[in-house]
Every structure is written in C-alpha cells, then in structure tokens.
Structure 1
C-alpha cells in the first residue's frame, strides 16, 4: 500500500465511521425528539439534520461530482438560522433525503481514482492551489468529517 493509499484509507475509515455514528444516533431518536432544542434557545435536532444535508449537498459541487440533490435546502438550513423559516420539510422527509444523499455521495466518492483525491476542489483557484496543494478534495472530506462529528455530539443531547 502506498502512502497515498494509506492516507485515503485512514480518512475514509473515519468518514464512514462518523456517518455510522450519526446514523445510529439518528435511528435512536424519534421525530418528536428531533423537534426539541439541543439546549434552550439553540438549534433543534431537525435543523441539524437539514443543515448536514445542505452541507453535504455542497460537497457534490466542491468535489466536482455534479449538481446538488436538494438545492432548496440551502436557504432554510445554511443561509438562515433555525426557526427563521416557518415551513421546513418534515423529519420523515429529511431522513429520506439523508439516506439518499449518503448513497449518492458514497457512489460518487468510490468512483474517484486515488490520485483524484489530491486534485484541487472547486472553491480554490488553480493559482492558489499551486501555492497550497493541501486545498484538495481529500481535505474537504477531512473538514466535513469533523463537522459531522461536531453535530453528532450536539444531537446526542436529545437522547
């Protein structure tokens, strides 16, 4: 196994581990529990779910893997704070979106060749990438893994 293959395995083991942790917790929490705030005056669990879907939807663009699956979620879950928009998708709908999005991301991620993970992502210019080659597609997975783990830690407070 080359160094790059080892690095990819480490990153993706953690990515899929973080997804597994979130999924296990999401399965253990009812739709009613998702309506609760993580702490008084803070985001609700349903908002965190929608937020993660919207963030992971952006990954399709950043990784140059196609269009977003749910562009309509951007305004509600990224551009606005929780409760700023009265009408949001139901917990059942968001759970289904999450499942589909994870399947699509996995399929697209597995189609990349190892060397493609070290290419620039779409939010960095070619000029900047030549100076900062760490701003690559794999780095997106690392940052999103941390983001997912952070929100998993919040969601556990609803149990």
Structure 2
C-alpha cells in the first residue's frame, strides 16, 4: 500500500503533529517560567498543569503506538486527575526538558516507520475491533493528539493576555 498519495497523507499528518509541537515549544520558550503559574482563566487549569498534561499525553504515544514504554509514567496523573487532585506540580524547566526529550525520541521513531505501519492498528484496539474499524489506526491517533495539542495551545495563549475587568 506504499503508494505516493498515501505516503503524502501520512507525511502531512506527521507535519501537522510536528508543527503543533514546534508552536507549543516556541510558546514555552518565549515566556518566563513564572507565567505558567497562572490560570488560563478564573477557576481553570494553570499553565504548569497544562504543560504537565501535554508532556504526559505525548509520552503516552510510545505505548499506544507500540514504540515502547512511557519515559515518565509518574506524569500519568496529569491525564487522569484534575489539577486539584494531581498534587504537587513539577518544575516548569523539568517539564520543558521532558517535552523536548519525548518529542525528539518520537521524531526519531516516526522517521523509521513505513506507511503500512501508520495504517496498522494502535495498541488500544484489538485485532477483531480493528478489522471492523480500520480507521482506528496509528495515524489517526497521531492526528487526534495533534488536534488535542492545538486545543490546549489555544488555552495557553490566555496566560499572557491581560484579564478584562
């Protein structure tokens, strides 16, 4: 199934994911760590929590795509728990370093994969269910994660805007 059009679509999805990561990384690197202590809106998550959440979700790609174990399973609580229940929050600098490490390793893994690999089932779906729903593939997971990052990037922008009184 390695035809040129399919390869192009796979490349576009990977580029979408990569561009989202770059935009988020640029945002993280643009602002002082103190900015992330604030909430994106009254009563909403802090920037630190959202950064930890994004790191944890990206780390989860290793297991769902069948690339190995998570590098930082201790961050899983930032997926399962609300900010109030997650407990202590990590240092922003530590989260940024983990974000960069995870994404560099994912980039290296993605570069090795074939089109057929991307169109194969992800690890959270059984072979029987995948046979019924072949859209539950690895490429769809990556597309979903990139869209998820975009959503949270939209929230992070509010950390740097003055509140209206």
- State the distance in 2 between where 1:155 and 1:88 align: 17
8 A contact 1:31–1:91 mirrored in 2: yes
Instruction: String of CA shifts for 1:101-126, please: whole Å, max 9, x gaps.
Output: 11111111111112110000000010
Q: Give the deviation of 1:84 after TM superposition.
A: 2.2
Aligned to 1:38: 40
1:111 aligns with 2:135: no
1:150 aligns with 2:119: no
Q: Give the deviation of 1:70 after TM superposition.
A: 0.2
Structure 1 runs of 4+ off > 6 angstroms?
none
Aligned residues: 158
Aligned to 1:93: 94
1:84 aligns with 2:49: no
Residue correspondence of structure 1 range 44-83 to structure 2 within 5 A = 44-75=46-77, 77-83=78-84
8 A contact 2:52–2:75 mirrored in 1: yes
TM-score by length of 1: 0.95
8 A contact 2:48–2:89 mirrored in 1: no
Structure 2 spans left out of the alignment, 5+ residues: 161-165
Q: Give the deviation of 1:147 after TM superposition.
A: 0.2
TM-score by length of 2: 0.92
- State the distance in 2 between where 1:79 and 1:108 align: 26
Q: Give the deviation of 1:41 after TM superposition.
A: 0.6
Instruction: String of CA shifts for 1:54-92, please: whole Å, max 9, x gaps.
Output: 1111111010000000000112x1121113233221111
Structure 1 spans left out of the alignment, 5+ residues: none
Instruction: String of CA shifts for 1:25-54, please: whole Å, max 9, x gaps.
Output: 111121100000000010000100100111
Instruction: Name the CA shift for 1:85/1:128 in 2 (closer, same or farther; >3 Å).
Output: closer
Give the root-mean-square deviation of aligned CA atoms: 1.1
